Amino acid sequence: MDQLFVNLKHSILIFAGNFLPEWAVILISILISVTAIAVFGPVTMMYLTLLERKFVGRIQNRFGPNRVGKWGLLQPLADGVKMLTKEDIVPKGADHFAHFLAPVAIVIPALLVFAVVPFGRNMVAVDLSIGILFFLALSSTTTIWIFVAAWASRNKFSLLGGLRSVAQMVSYEIPMVLSVVPVLMVVGSFSTVAIVEAQSGWNWFVLTPWGLIGFVLFFLTGVAEVNRTPFDLPEGESEIVAGFHTEYSGMKFALFYMAEFMNSFTISAIVSTVYLGGWQGPWLPGWLWLLIKSYALILVMMWFRGTLPRFRVDQLMGFAWKFLLPLALLNIFAAGVWLAFARPVNYLLSAIIVALALFILYFANRPDMPKKRVYRYAVE
């Protein structure tokens, strides 16, 4: 079961090898991987929309979509038909080419990062030696297309959303990269496959003191990177209409959503890969373990969405620069100490460092509450 999809691909290639030259077999191998990702990504996105609507609906004491098919299972298809048949409106003052290009191009990085996600043992499209770097670099290019969309719409609300998106990306990219650094130090490789293999036998990095902090940091910054609540300032409905996609309708709008949901799936998969042991786990096949872990993280994102209101802009910036960034730096120090000492001592030392860091940052970040004024002469 563990190697189900690997064996399936392998047998197809052997069958093709009987009557095709070698270069054609390589081409087919690439095509199979690409097709699998290109089908898996959008289908995941379609059903994530349904999952989110059901989950948030239950949080708000209602059913969520339950009319189209059993439990609303055909709702994504109905939404797709609706999106395709909607009128495509382009504002008169818009930059037509860029307005068209942005939603198309934003899907490309979202699909490309699937290439380095190790779905199971031997189940990675390309085992790049710079896998994590590839993921971080590509996922941050999404913001460029968000800004292109915002600029091309020629709408002040869109532009404000785009500016917010860029400011947010610049702030959160730094703690995000720094929160992965401890793992790279310990594993000594950028490759996602090597990172998963380093965590075999319940040596998940989340079970170490620095790993726990790194996991929370990476996950929170990841949520901020994919612009989901409570970090959804670029599309804050109550403030700037719909942010960067104000002027988009129909399938172009759906493409933005597709990119957003695929990004939230890949960020969950990468967080599980880096800190939660990836496809490692007992009894069940590896690919199932990765999906379980990723969906658990996605459900936490939806749980955030059902609970938390949006950050104010200064709170968002303060959280990144005053809390996440110093914590990520101190976490690297804790991981270095963990590496330098022997087994029982290193856990204790790095736990102390992490606890101290949390304590100091917690008290340094307390809001400055003025004392309640006591009137000595005035009578209430």
| Residues near another protein (CB under 8 A) | 55, 58-63, 303-304, 306-308, 362, 366-367
- CB closer to another protein out of 18 and 61: 61
Phi-psi label, residue 243: left if phi above 0, alpha if psi -120 to 50, beta otherwise: left
- What angle, 0 to 180 degrees and rounded to 10, lies between the N-to-C axes of helices 250-275 and 96-112? 30
Tokens 């809390």, located at residue: 323
- CB closer to another protein out of 271 and 302: 302
To the nearest whole angstrom, how small is the minimum distance from the Cβ of residue 353 to another protein? 20
To the nearest whole angstrom, how small is the minimum distance from the Cβ of residue 57 to another protein? 8
To the nearest whole angstrom, how small is the minimum distance from the Cβ of residue 139 to another protein? 25
Contact 183, 331 (CB under 8 A): no
- CB closer to another protein out of 15 and 63: 63
What is the spatial distance between Cα 321 and Cα 317, in angstroms, rounded to a whole number?
Answer: 6
Per-residue burial over 24-63, b if 16 or more Cβ lie within 10 Å, else e, is: ebeebeeebbeebbeebbbebbbebbbbbbbbbbeeeeee
To the nearest whole angstrom, how small is the minimum distance from the Cβ of residue 228 to another protein? 15
- CB closer to another protein out of 282 and 367: 367
Other Cβ atoms within 10 Å of 167 Cβ, number: 17
To the nearest whole angstrom, how small is the minimum distance from the Cβ of residue 304 to another protein? 8
- CB closer to another protein out of 254 and 302: 302
Phi, psi of 345 (to 5 degrees): -70, -40
Tokens 């059993």, located at residue: 70
